[in-house]
Amino acid sequence: MGVVTMTESLMPPTSGWTVDDLYRLPDTGVRYELFDGSLLVSPAPIVRHARAVNRLRDLLARQAPADIQLAQDVGVTVHGGRTYFIPDICVLPAAAFDKDADNLDQDDVLLAIEVLSPSNPGNDLVLKRHYYAAGGIPQYWIVDPDKRTLTVLTLDGDTYKERAVVEPGQAWRSDEPFPLAIDPAHVL
Amino acid sequence: MGVVTMTESLMHPEFGRPWTIDDLARLPDDDGMRYEIVDGSLLVSPHANVYHFGVAGLLARLLDRQAPDQFLVAQDGSVQVKNRTSYFLPDVMAVRRDAIQRGRDCFDPADVPLVIEVLSPSNRGNDLIIKRHYYAAGGIPQYWIVDPEKRTLTVLTLEGDSYQDRAVVEAGQVWRSDEPFPLTIDPADVL
Q: Which of A33, A41, A83, A79 lies closest to B39 in space, CA to CA?
A: A41
Contacts of A44 in chain B (CB under 8 A): 15-16
- Alpha-carbon dihedral angle through residues A70, A23, B125, A81, given to the nearest 10 degrees: -70
* Contacts of residue B20, Cβ cutoff 8 Å, sequence gap at least 6: B37, B40, B83, B84, B85, B87
Cα–Cα distance measured from residue B175 to residue B60, given in angstroms and rounded to the nearest whole number: 15
How is residue B120 annotated by DSSP? B
Q: Given an 8 Å threshold on Cβ–Cβ distance, is A28 in contact with B10?
A: yes
The percentage of chain B sitting over the pLDDT mark of 90, rounded to a whole number, equals 70
Tell me how close the Cα of B121 comes to any Cα of chain A, in angstroms.
9
pLDDT for residue B137: 95
Which tops the pLDDT comparison, B110 or A12?
B110
Cα–Cα distance measured from residue A13 to residue A35, given in angstroms and rounded to the nearest whole number: 15
Lowest-pLDDT choice from B29-33, B46-50, B110-114: B29-33
Cα–Cα distance measured from residue B81 to residue A158, given in angstroms and rounded to the nearest whole number: 29
Phi/psi of residue A90, nearest 5 degrees: -120, 140
pLDDT tens-place string over residues B127-175: 999 999 999 999 999 999 999 999 999 999 999 999 999 999 999 999 9
A29 to chain B, any CB pair closer than 8 A? The answer is yes
B17 to chain A, any CB pair closer than 8 A? The answer is yes
pLDDT band at A26 (very low <50, low <70, confident <90, very high): confident
One-letter amino acid for residue B175 of the chain = W
Average pLDDT over residues B9-13: 63
Cα–Cα distance measured from residue B185 to residue B25, given in angstroms and rounded to the nearest whole number: 37
Longest dimension (CA), chain B: 52
A23 to chain B, any CB pair closer than 8 A? The answer is no
Q: Is the pLDDT of residue A156 over 80?
A: yes
Phi/psi of residue A49, nearest 5 degrees: -65, -45
Q: Please tell me chain B's helix, strand, coil percentages from 3-state DSSP, rounded to the nearest 5.
A: 30, 35, 35
Give the other-Cβ count within 10 Å of A178's Cβ. 15
Q: Which of A106, A52, A46, A99 lies closest to A75 in space, CA to CA?
A: A106
Q: If you average pLDDT over every residue of chain B, what do you get?
A: 90
pLDDT for residue A7: 44
On whether the CB atoms of residues B94 and B180 are closer than 8 A, the answer is yes
Task: Return the bridge partners of A155, or none.
Answer: A160
pLDDT for residue B101: 85
Contacts of A10 in chain B (CB under 8 A): 6, 9, 31, 33, 44
pLDDT for residue B10: 66
Average pLDDT over residues B66-81: 96
Give the other-Cβ count within 10 Å of A6's Cβ. 20
Q: Which of A75, A157, A120 lies closest to B87 in space, CA to CA?
A: A120
pLDDT tens-place string over residues A2-13: 444 544 456 666
Residue B137's alpha-carbon distances to A36, A123, A165, B36, in angstroms, are 22, 14, 23, 16
On whether the CB atoms of residues A17 and A34 are closer than 8 A, the answer is yes
* Contacts of residue A1, Cβ cutoff 8 Å, sequence gap at least 6: none
For B100, half-sphere exposure in the C-beta direction (CA atoms, 13 angstrom radius) is 12
Q: Given an 8 Å threshold on Cβ–Cβ distance, is A130 in contact with B129?
A: yes
Lowest-pLDDT choice from A131-140, A148-157, B116-125: B116-125
CA triple B127-A12-B147, angle to 5 deg? 25
Q: If you average pLDDT over every residue of chain A, what do you get?
A: 91
A22 to chain B, any CB pair closer than 8 A? The answer is no
pLDDT tens-place string over residues A68-117: 999 998 999 999 999 999 999 999 999 998 888 889 999 999 999 999 98
Task: Return the bridge partners of A69, or none.
Answer: A92
Q: Which of A11, A40, A83 sits opposite B32 (nearest CB)?
A: A11
